[in-house]
Structure 1
């Protein structure tokens, strides 16, 4: 029997022994990763890959791989849910402590942020010139590929980066300020997870664990100080406002403003907007109610975009910078991998096809079609009051689950079809699918695999396996495409005429 006042233990909760083992195995992994960071992380200077040339290469890679394996294994072991939501928060916080006391991990992007903020703070347009041309004194810490490219981020993030430079003063101080902003983004997302999961009928202890304890969050969003943390810290509160106060003008404007700010951090957030419109309509949606909600929501989005563009004095110039984010070519992006394979085939016949730009452009068109199809599927399901997918514990949970799941799938499609892929991109769909999906392995497993892609100094392991990686990714993409088409065909055949 359960003692009075003590909530019963969920039937699928892990045993106390398994939970403690996972907690301290993950903590050991985080400590090892922090050690790897000090030996060969993304230190504020141009460093060879993984400490090569310093005599610490083998120690760095060994600590990194063992630490990553421990952290991923501990997270995976409790993928069905932590013992309680409080336990999940405490354990994720415990794992984050060593990662807060280490140099940037897994990427040198935080130095790009610092230099872009310095550029703007010194009166130079970061969308017109690269950080090297602007004369940033910290340019040697920036990855060479990004030294001559304009900023690919929105004006709100440029303002925040400039604020971090002003507050921090030195490079080290700026990095600390940028990491504090990333932690703030993660905390904002963490505050929203229980309410979003509860509204969608998903166990809160599972949703909190999958997001906050994910190694990608600790290593890349917190230790790496990626602005994806701010993206999630704006997206999740915006969706929560919509779900709690659908159809009301004030909340619609507030949610729209938060979504607009998310777009002006990273333009990726734009794919969430159609599903936010569904969340804004209470009850069974009608075209009239949808248009009314979209109007107020769009007003908030456009107002935030216009305000940050005008306040920064940068105008719409940031949109042009988005085209340079694809300068890096790695097989971890399926469209890029397919382009590589087509080029390999062309070389066998003595021709240089230059297929990568073509496959990338085709993937972006496919992404637009996929987002539209996902939205139409969610809209159609909400319009059918007797749809089986709406038979959930609370009447309004159907709207919540379909909106959040649709947004998560749209972000997943963006990650898969984008011209480039970095491990921290997987946190975008993870945050929404964790609060809206009944089954989790299909999106948890890729996140676990992505945790092994980068070394502590930011070296991407895909660089050392270009041809075999491209062939494997292309085969995987083709296999999944065939499987998806066959499933759609079976689903269509099973529907009554």
Structure 2
């Protein structure tokens, strides 16, 4: 039944991007997600990435929410909120795919869903505490690429809230991001709550940059803007992970998307400079640079493709080197290249969400049934094989991108996605590297359904505290079921008929059914009133 506020029910047969007359504004759907996001925020005070010594709740009358039954209640509130956000997102997606709502309602929905999370404790991660710890190291004259935050003898709140795994681990982030973290800590000092909130506010600049680029990328790459915004901005990976986390990938994506746009618009100098700056935020942005060389080469005049490629390649390197050197020098006060060694730090994370690691663990489990062995050799060999395969795949995709244009950008996004899946570790928010670019292309409905399943799954495979849940098999079974149900719901509201069964009267079985064409059936003629 159509509501007075949300668009009318959708036909499952509606193709993606049909231009229908927009219906009424989806107030109820947006409100549902906003309520869910508010519950996420409230539950996070007891179940999220809470502080070890919380100045707000730690000693006050609400401190019970952090322990025992109070924490169980907080978890329940948080997961109910998560379910409402997903429900609202999928419901909004159905309206978008049928052309019943445009870009504006999608953006309003995303902003409404993000707003409560601005003051939330970190959700499904504790990485922001590491950001602040590494910024504090740089602020106090220490090298974040040599040691972890544990070496700090000041700012005890900052240090103690860094996850134990990263206390003694060098920073894996680019120097420009460490400079941003240094500025945040310079303003907030040892006060973690303002530090987390200010980090989110700074990362909003990354969201603004990405939002500026997406409509223009859609025009170049052939997508539908409402679908793109629904996928890239209103999705749980953006709302809950990148913003609710928060994660510095949000800033890197701004430089990446604007740089790709500049390349497509023949502003190649700007493109190389921006993507290099993105690399100085998070190194994975560098994967796009070789593909942008092909875009540049195909925009050059002349018939010799080899000569054009060499001209574009030399010019790109000539731009990359001074930007890289100057950006590193300004950020760190020296040409400190220790951050390349720091890239090994995340590889300490080993779980089956990373495909090669999972394969290694499977082989270990089989062999361990017969022989008492250690798992590390199996994981190491599987990762090494995957690295070789990834390198071959990346080079092959780069070669196939030699015609430049849309093809080159598409293949760069595919390689970014492959790196997120095959290069250890695979963390849920890494998938946004490729998804944000791919969202600007035209999508088929069944593929979008798969994206929904993946988005829900990767958001839930970590507990709200930031600890992994990947070996809690009963929990993972529930996550898979929820992911598949959300994916099916994009194609058909209430795919299992749960709501209909709840409302159904036993006498309904005698009523005529609705024909497949979508028009109501005529009432049966019985001769009575």
TM-score normalised according to structure 2 size: 0.77
8 Å CA contact 1:118, 1:162 repeated in 2: yes
Residue in structure 2 matching 1:321, options 313, 327, 342: 342
Q: 2:271 aligns with which of 255, 261, 267?
A: 255
Matched ranges for 1:48-447 at <5 A = 53-79=67-93, 80-81=96-97, 83-135=101-153, 137=156, 138-169=158-189, 170-245=191-266, 251-282=267-298, 286-311=305-330, 312=332, 313=334, 315-352=336-373, 354-379=377-402, 382=403, 399-439=404-444, 440-441=447-448, 442-447=450-455
CA separation of 1:13 and 1:209: change in aligned 2, threshold 3 A: farther
- Per-residue deviation, residues 41-69 of structure 1 (Å, max 9, x unmatched): 21222799x97734323222222222222
Q: Cα RMSD (Å) of the superposition?
A: 2.7
Offset at residue 146 of structure 1 (A): 0.9
SS at match of 1:45: coil
| 1:444/1:282 CA distance change after superposition, 3 Å | farther
Gap change, CA 1:57 and 1:11, over 3 Å in 2: same
SS at match of 2:460: coil
Where in structure 1 do 4 or more consecutive aligned residues deviate above 6 Å?
Answer: 466-469
After superposing the two structures, state which structure 1 stretch, 365-374 or 273-282, moved more.
Answer: 273-282
CA distance in 1 between partners of 2:20 and 2:76 (Å): 33
Larger Rg: 2
Q: Within the alignment, does 1:462 sit opposite 2:467 as a pair?
A: no
Question: Could you say which residue in structure 1 is the equivalent of 2:456?
Answer: 448
Indicate if the aligned counterparts of 2:45 and 2:65 stay in contact, CA closer than 8 A: no
d(CA) in 2 for partners of 1:214, 1:315: 37
1:17 and 1:327 mapped to 2: Cα distance? Answer: 50
Q: Which moved more, 1:275-284 or 1:235-244?
A: 275-284
Mapped partners of 1:367, 1:467: distance in 2 = 31
C-alpha separation in 2, matches of 1:51 and 1:291: 62
Q: Structure 1 residues 467 and 173, CA, compared in 2 at 3 Å: closer, same or farther?
A: closer
- Larger relative contact order (CA 8 Å, sep ≥ 6): 1
The TM-score, its normalising length taken from structure 1, stands at: 0.82
Unpaired segments of 5 or more residues in structure 1?
A: 1-8, 246-250, 383-398, 473-497
Moved more, 74-83 or 287-296: 74-83
Residue 35 (1) aligns with residue 55 (2): no
Cα shift at 1:447: 1.8
Q: CA deviation at 1:322?
A: 0.6
Deviation by residue 1:374-429 (Cα, 9 ceiling, x = unmatched): 222232xx3xxxxxxxxxxxxxxxx5421221121111101110211222112111
CA distance in structure 1 between the partners assigned to 2:473 and 2:80 by the alignment:
21
Deviation at 1:18? Answer: 8.9
Secondary structure of 2:281's match? coil
Q: How many residues align?
A: 438
